[in-house]
Amino acid sequence: MITNKKFGIIVALISAVIAFYINKSLDRFELFSPGSATIAFLIGITCSIFMKGLDEGGKWCTKNLMPIIIVFLGFGLNLKLLTQPEIGLLGMTTVFFTVIICFSISYILGKIFKIELTTSIALGAGGAICGNSAVVAIAPSLKMKEENIAMVLAVINLLCLATFILIPIIAIELGMNQIEAGIWAGSVIHAVPQTIASGEAIGDEGLIIATAVKLSRVALLIVVVPVCVYLGNKIHNEEENIQNKIKIPYFIPGFLISAIMSTWFLPESMVSFFIELGKYLLFPMMAAVGFFINLENIKSSAKSVFLIGLIITISMSLGNLLIIKLF
């Protein structure tokens, strides 16, 4: 007899395989694809609507896969990018502006709309750093509820799609050169694959610049993840009325070590293998997170979370555009 836990795990794995092949098929026919992870997330949401008994398996996947994925995410960080000359002072200015504006607005508006602090932080990280990967990387440290993770991911993916489509079009209309447009795309679009695709639409030079700026944002995870461990412990201790109890999850030193190893010590072939392995583990985990989208339970909160995400995205888009034009 298949238990609820096994059933949920099996559905997550099948969803991951289906998502992988859908993404592959879309790429083969040169059609737009949001990526296997996002497709898996959408399949997970669909499964939660039509199937019962997925929660237990979904919780197992998020609890056991997420820490491993975070360690593998570290291999995708090249810390040298933070000083890469192609990015330049303008690129780094937009990167730091993006981080400051995302976290500031998410915190302030989260207070106004009475959103849980952990949800506000995750929303800021998703916008400021690298979309799905950032949310997944910090969620365990913040001790987020599965339904809140799912809600933030849904908002981030929707806004990422909008910026991915609109930024190249607006850049052309504004007469921006490829360097300016590349910096704008790299500093605003939430996820790495969509940033690369958007840069490609801008042009060869735009692609290089957009990718470099975006990956410099991703490298900031090396700072954001440990900070979220501290915040998660602080929030948890206050809620539980616990004094001076700081827990450092094993995946945090693992994440830091993997980033350092991939930047300075490991051969590129080994780094690529670990990145691919982490990516494939991400697919069933994203499907499992999708199981926790409950349309009835999140209706009221989702509106506020989406509004905050929208304001963050518009603010960093207009702010970075202004910086680029004035620089």
Q: Please give the distance of CA 93 from its chain centroid, rounded to a whole number.
A: 21
Helix-strand-coil split of the chain, %, nearest 5:
85, 0, 15
Which residues of the chain are modeled with pLDDT < 70?
A: 1, 81-88, 237-249, 294-301
Maximum pairwise Cα distance, the chain = 66
CA pair distance 156, 135, nearest whole angstrom:
9
CA pair distance 228, 140, nearest whole angstrom:
9
* Whether pTM exceeds 0.85: no
CA pair distance 171, 177, nearest whole angstrom:
8
Q: Please give the distance of CA 28 from its chain centroid, rounded to a whole number.
A: 25
CA pair distance 115, 109, nearest whole angstrom:
8
Residue 171, C-beta contacts closer than 8 angstroms, at least 6 positions apart:
180, 181, 184, 185, 202
How is residue 278 written in tokens? Answer: 């982490």
The alpha carbons of the chain give a radius of gyration, in whole angstroms, of 19
pLDDT at 22: 95
Residue 232 three-state SS = helix
How is residue 324 written in tokens? Answer: 């680029």
pLDDT at 270: 93
pLDDT at 81: 64
Q: Are 24 and 300 in contact (CB under 8 A)?
A: no
Give which of 189, 217, 215 is closest to 129, Cα–Cα.
Answer: 217
pLDDT at 244: 47
Residue 254 burial (C-beta neighbours within 10 Å; 0-12, 13-18, 19+): middle
CA pair distance 175, 254, nearest whole angstrom:
45
Give which of 99, 122, 120 is closest to 111, Cα–Cα.
Answer: 120
